[in-house]
Amino acid sequence: DIQMTQSPSSLSASVGDRVTITCRASQAISTYLNWYQQKPGKAPKLLIHAVSNLQSGVPSRFSGSGSGTNFTLIISGLQPEDFATYYCQQSYTTPMYTFGQGTKLEIK
Partner 1 sequence: EVRLLDSGGDLVQPGGSLRLSCTASGFTFRMYAMNWVRQAPGKGLEWVSGISGSGSSTFYADSVKGRFVISRDNSKNTLYLQMKSLRAEDTAVYYCAKRLGGGGSGYDYFDDWGQGTLVTVSS
The contact pattern for partner 1, residues 50-79, with x = CB under 8 A and - = no contact, is: x--x-x------------------------
Which of 14, 43, 57, 80 lies at the binding interface for partner 1 (CB under 8 A)? 43
Residue of 78, 100, 98, 70 whose CA lies nearest to 87: 100
Quickly count: other Cβ atoms within 10 Å of residue 17's Cβ.
15
Which of 7, 44, 57, 65 lies at the binding interface for partner 1 (CB under 8 A)? 44
Contact 86, 101 (CB under 8 A): no
Contact 87, 36 (CB under 8 A): yes
Q: Which is nearer to partner 1, 1 or 81 (CB)?
A: 1
Interface with partner 1 by CB under 8 A: which range of 18-26, 35-43, 63-71, 72-80? 35-43
